[in-house]
Structure 1
Amino acid sequence: MAKLTLYHASPSRSSIVRWMLEEIGEPYDIHLLRLMEGDQAKPDYLAVNPMGKVPALKHGDVVITEAAAICTYLADAFPQARLNVPIGDPRRGLYLKWLFFGPGCVEPAITDRAFPRKEEPRRAMLGYGDFDTVMNVLANAVAKGPYLMGEQFTAADVVLGSTLRWGMMFNLLPKRPEFVDYVARLETRPALKRATALDQELAAA
């Protein structure tokens, strides 16, 4: 049995971690959850993740939840894959910023745009500020390319790239040329192709 086990549902946010695992190249097991059947709310899974969400990753006796946290953990745990910026490197601060910009800014901005409140919230009350600023900051970052950290592809690209792919797929994000070009670069990666194909097999089954 592999030391790494991904608690996974397809399609869902756990596909982010599946891509990350394919990038790392270490063997892993899949513990499949069927969300439509309520597997995520059953006691055995709530013992793994009390939030009742996927993904969750077990590495030996350690359990990590939240996609960005899992990708950060994996990048540091398997440095030979060169998907992290190590502690002590001054670029690590920027790397961490982009790792958490997806779930901290982009995803809530998308959700608020898709499901608007009855009353417009004050900008200062939102952790991300406003939708247009988030889009502009992100577009400027990916335009510098090829990746968020320049020539080095990192876990930040897995997390933020997944959010961009998902957002444009469901027309929740504008298909700005910067976003389209960046995602096109990501989609040439063999690990993403493998992860996508594996998830398509699960969906078909």
Structure 2
Amino acid sequence: MPARRGAGWRLDPGSCGAAPSRAACAAGRKAMVNTADAGDPERLVLFGSFTSSSSYKPMLFLALSGLPFSFRTVNLKNGVQKSPDYLAVNRYGQVPALRHRGLTVVQSNVILDYLARATGCFEEAAEQARWTAREWLSWESDAITNVAKVRHYSRFRAVDPAVMSYFRPLAEAALGFVDTALADGRDWLVDGDAPSIADIGCWGRMVFMAEGGLEIARWPHLQRWAARLQALPGFALPYDLIPKKDTEFAGR
């Protein structure tokens, strides 16, 4: 697969030239379309779980990009993430993890960063916009993650009400922040013309909000932004998108 090019945003030493454009996504997809063999080092291999918002983020990126990839399910309920075999992939014992071209990349937002650089998909053309997209991802990991905590404590692990009383306002504040950012009429978080990894990452972390009793209708700008994401070709919600068994995706 050819390197995505741009000052400071290259995978291969010595590459140079204009910053990646959205046309690079089509070129990256074309370059990868024949990597049908799961053993091919050019094949993207994603490890994850269908209940994990962290897994959903790179899964949604790949689905929206139409890239071919392999999915390897990690059963969190059965503790597979702590097994020696999986710890050899991800030393943190967490999902997701990505393998590609001899590399192993872990942590969902780092994977989004890698995928954008490697494929050109959902990468901003302007340097400031690229940094802004990653700024959103860094903020998301600190703020919107509270939405995931509220959902986790509501569905998977009962906690003292005082714990929920602490995290719920933080989750609501994060959702309110995104809602306010979108209140100026922009379609997307960074670039008004098209979504970026910022949109995928922020949406992916909050996708299970209703399972934590956080109804999206409370934030109308956020709700309209989510509707725009859901209208994109290839979009699906986690339980429809992430398989419960190992699966090969041919791409489009």
The TM-score bracket by the shorter chain reads 0.7 to 0.9
In 2, Cα distance between equivalents of 1:101 and 1:95: 10
Of the three residues 123, 126, 136, the one matched with 1:84 is 123
The residue type paired with residue 158 of structure 1 is I
1:51 corresponding residue in structure 2: 92
Shift of residue 137 of structure 1? 2.2
- On the 8 A contact 1:68/1:99 being kept in 2, the answer is yes
The SS at the match of 1:84 is: coil
Relative distance call for 1:73 and 1:111 in structure 2 (3 A) is same
The SS at the match of 1:202 is: coil
Do residues 192 (structure 1) and 235 (structure 2) align? yes
Identical aligned pairs, as a percentage? 24
Do residues 99 (structure 1) and 140 (structure 2) align? no
- On the 8 A contact 2:147/2:206 being kept in 1, the answer is no
Relative distance call for 1:25 and 1:42 in structure 2 (3 A) is same
Number of corresponding residues: 192
1:29 corresponding residue in structure 2: 70
The SS at the match of 1:193 is: coil
- On the 8 A contact 2:51/2:238 being kept in 1, the answer is no
2:6 corresponding residue in structure 1: none
Shift of residue 46 of structure 1? 0.4
Of the three residues 133, 153, 171, the one matched with 2:213 is 171
Relative distance call for 1:166 and 1:131 in structure 2 (3 A) is closer
Larger fraction in helix = 1
Unaligned 5+ segments in structure 2 are 1-36, 154-158, 246-252
- On the 8 A contact 2:61/2:200 being kept in 1, the answer is yes
Relative distance call for 1:93 and 1:117 in structure 2 (3 A) is farther
- On the 8 A contact 2:148/2:206 being kept in 1, the answer is no
- On the 8 A contact 1:5/1:30 being kept in 2, the answer is yes
RMSD: 2.9
- On the 8 A contact 1:8/1:31 being kept in 2, the answer is yes
The SS at the match of 1:64 is: strand
- On the 8 A contact 1:164/1:173 being kept in 2, the answer is no
In 2, Cα distance between equivalents of 1:172 and 1:197: 21
The residue type paired with residue 84 of structure 1 is E
Moved more, 1-10 or 136-145: 136-145
2:225 corresponding residue in structure 1: 182
Do residues 7 (structure 1) and 47 (structure 2) align? yes
Relative distance call for 1:96 and 1:78 in structure 2 (3 A) is same
In 1, Cα distance between equivalents of 2:71 and 2:232: 21
In 2, Cα distance between equivalents of 1:92 and 1:162: 19
Moved more, 33-42 or 169-178: 169-178
1:155 corresponding residue in structure 2: 197
Of the three residues 129, 135, 148, the one matched with 2:175 is 135
Larger RCO, structure (CA 8 Å, separation 6 or more): 2
In 2, Cα distance between equivalents of 1:166 and 1:195: 9
Relative distance call for 1:10 and 1:134 in structure 2 (3 A) is closer
- On the 8 A contact 1:110/1:172 being kept in 2, the answer is no
Q: Deviations over 1:40-65 (max 9, x none)?
A: 11101001111111100011211111
Shift of residue 94 of structure 1? 1.8
The residue type paired with residue 33 of structure 1 is V
- On the 8 A contact 1:110/1:167 being kept in 2, the answer is yes
